[in-house]
Structure 1
Amino acid sequence: MEESVQKTSGESGGCRPKSKTESEGYGGVHTFMGIVDGKLVEVYVDSSNLLEYILRLDNLNRVYRQVVRNNGVGGVDKIVMSELLPYLKLHKDELLKQLIDGKYPPLPVFRAEIPKDNGKTRPLGIPTVVDRFVQQAVSQV
C-alpha cells in the first residue's frame, strides 16, 4: 500500500468558513490529507502516530528552512545558525534515535537581558539551534 500525506492548514484563505454559523466549533486545526491506494483520504494524527509525523522528512525540511529563516543566535553550545546543516548531516541518525527513544537531552537555555523602552530589562531564554529545530518540528505538527 503506497501512502503519501500532505498537511493542509485550516487557516488558509480557501478553507475558512463563509458564515458565522459554519464557524461554530471551528478550531483552525491542521488536517493531513493522504493518498492511500490511489484515493485521497483524511489521515488522523493521534498520540499513537504523532512522532511519525513530527519526524517525517518533509516536516524536518520545512523545520530547517523555518529555523534558518528566523536567524537566531546560538545558545550555550555556541553552534551558530550556519553550522546547523553540517551538524544535522553529521548527527542525523543519532538525533532521530534519541527522539524516537524519548532520550533527547535538551541543553540548558542561555539567559540574556534585553533592554526595554522604559530603561528596565526583561529576561530572555535562548535555546540552542538544535533545540529550536526539535521544538519547531513538534510545533509544526
Structure 2
Amino acid sequence: MANRLLQFLNPDNFEQAWQKVAANNGCAGVDRETIRQCGEQIECNLAKLLHQVARGTYRPLPLRQIAIPKKSGGWRILRVPTVRDRIVSRRC
C-alpha cells in the first residue's frame, strides 16, 4: 500500500495525468478554470495540488451540470469535474 501511495504522489505521475487531461481538452468545471488557464501556471498548480493530496487537505469540488439536448427529445445532464479534480482522479 505504501509503495502505491508513493507512486501516486510522484510528481511525474501528476505530470502524466496533466498531459492526459490536457489532451482531452474538456470544458471547465464549477470553478470555471479552463485547461488553457490551468496550463499557464501548470508547474505551480501541480505542486500545490500534490501538496494538498499528500497532506490530506485536498477536497474535490462539486460537479458542474450542463444540460444538452438529446436527438430523441428531452435533455441529457452532463456532470463535469474541475480540471484539478480530473488530474487527481486520473490513473497513470
In 1, Cα distance between equivalents of 2:69 and 2:41: 32
How big is the alpha-carbon RMSD for the aligned residues of Structure 1 and Structure 2? 1.6
Instruction: Name 1:112's counterpart in structure 2.
Output: 66
SS, match of residue 105 in structure 1: coil
Contact 1:53 1:59 in 2 (8 A): yes
> 1:59 aligned to 2:18?
no
Query: What percent of counterpart residues are identical?
Result: 35
Contact 1:51 1:100 in 2 (8 A): no
> 1:122 aligned to 2:76?
yes
Contact 1:110 1:126 in 2 (8 A): yes
TM (normalized to structure 2)? 0.84
Larger radius of gyration: 1
Instruction: Name 1:95's counterpart in structure 2.
Output: 49
**What's the CA shift for 1:83?**
1.3
- Structure holding more strand per residue: 1
Query: Which consecutive residues of structure 1, in runs of 5 or more, have no partner in the other structure?
Result: 1-46
**1:84-122: CA deviations, max 9, x gaps?**
123432344332221012220111111111222211212
Number of aligned residue pairs: 92
Contact 2:11 2:50 in 1 (8 A): no
Query: Which consecutive residues of structure 2, in runs of 5 or more, have no partner in the other structure?
Result: none
SS, match of residue 79 in structure 2: strand
In 2, Cα distance between equivalents of 1:114 and 1:65: 27
- Structure holding more helix per residue: 2
Question: Which structure carries more relative contact order (alpha carbon 8 Å, separation 6+)?
Answer: 2
Match of 1:81 among 35, 46, 62: 35
